[in-house]
Structure 1
Amino acid sequence: MNIVWHQHKVTQEMRSSQKKQKPCLLWFTGLSGSGKSTVANAVDELLFESGYHTYVLDGDNIRHRLNKDLGFSDKDRVENIRRIGEVSSLFVDAGLIVLSAFISPFSSERRMVRDMLPDGRFIEIFIDAPLDVCEQRDPKGLYEKARKGDIKHFTGIDSAYEKPEAPELVINTSELSLNECARKVVGYLGKRSVI
């Protein structure tokens, strides 16, 4: 293969210094309806209001465009996350704080994305909400369809979700308000000297 990695003169360190932040990937994982996207967007808003450079990657939005050719088989789910990991790592290289909100049900795929980034740049945030709470919320009506058999391979119903064993942060959206959830994440970033 005649492909050579092109080296850029402007480095990640230079971009980070310009933006006065440490680029990283905040990986929000959890069941559908747990609040991943909601919390990620609230964190994004707080960081943006404080002058930080961020970008949110959301599972549904990515499947409308970049990954519209993928289904929901285990193989396609792994490829979906691989692509997201690659895109996220490029954004981190650009000096951004990236907030990726994906069910990402398998530990191995989350580890794959972690391995794409330098040490300390992947921050796994487990949005922990019990299945019954997620089903009560069911903002898209997906659990109801899955229970009826209209949707196959639905995480939490007929497809497994492997809870993170050692996430950097656990946020229980059934116990905390949205504001408390977002501030907990931002507080963690401050402690880690990301911001």
Structure 2
Amino acid sequence: MSNGDKDNHVVWHQSLIRKEDRQKQHGHKSLMIWFTGLSGSGKSTIANALQHELYKKGVSVYLLDGDNLRHGINRNLSFSEEDRKENIRRTAEIGKLFVEAGIVVLAALISPFEVDRINARSLFVPDEFIEVYIKCSLQECEQRDPKGLYKKARKGEIQQFTGIDQPYEEPKDPEVIIDTDKLSIKESVEILSSYLVSKVRLMENTKE
């Protein structure tokens, strides 16, 4: 069956339960919060800490971590530019399902290319996608190197490593910028929590 035939025969089946119904059941709005930044910048650490903070406030929340996804649904993908695009596409589609289910979903991936992040955003209505740029200098990320990946990349043991032999395109207009050269994890989470309350009113109807 060709793609054209597939498009002619696959029809969207409408659910009797709307996204708004699920949000009401959870007691809060559902969102995709997309963390992007260099390896070692602190994406996963901050996203995980924010997840814990939201959970304590009664928010139904789940974290999609890039490394964890590559142990499962994305395990067949390499780090080539083409496979990175597919990695982002799959993660965004999964995130969309979470948002439709009324859940706040966080995604922490390097996601180095602007066009892929734009494509991810396009799956959501404007107020349901928040891009968080975890900004950190390459020098600082290399100094931290929590997984030893920069050292391997410099030795040529890892190819197509972002920041070394593959570019990272900084977000042009993210909703939030967190500079982890200067901010602690606690300060970063406080900034993000304040943003979600004041700008998105994420927790105004959460359960006590």
TM range (shorter): over 0.9
- Alignment deviations for residues 52-88 of structure 1 (CA, whole Å, 9 cap, x no partner): 0000000000001101111011000000100001000
Residue number among 31, 40, 43 corresponding to 1:33 in the alignment: 40
Aligned to 1:193: 201
Percentage of pairs with the same residue: 50
- Which structure 2 residues correspond to residues 12-27 of structure 1 after superposition, within 5 A? 12-27=19-34
Pairing of 1:101-140 with structure 2 (within 5 A): 101-140=108-147
Kindly state the Cα deviation for residue 160 of structure 1 after the two structures are TM-superposed: 0.4
TM-score normalised according to structure 2 size: 0.92
Count of aligned residue pairs for this structure pair: 195
How is 1:165-176 mapped onto 2 (pairs within 5 angstroms)?
Answer: 165-176=172-183
- Is 1:88 paired with 2:89? no
Residue in 1 that maps onto 2:171: 164
List alignment gaps of at least 5 residues for structure 1. none
CA distance in 2, matches of 1:69, 1:185: 33
Deviation of 1:46 (Å): 0.4
Return structure 1 stretches of 4+ with deviation > 4 angstroms: none
Letter in 2 for 1:129: C
Q: In the alignment, which residue of structure 1 is the partner of 2:85?
A: 78
Q: Deviations over 1:126-175 (max 9, x none)?
A: 00011111011101000000000110100000000000011000001121
Deviations 1:21-62 (A, max 9, x none): 111100000000000000000000000001000000000000
Unaligned ranges ≥5, structure 2 = 1-5, 204-208
- 1:13 CA drift (Å): 0.3
RMSD between aligned alpha carbons?
0.7
Which protein is bigger by CA-based radius of gyration?
A: 2
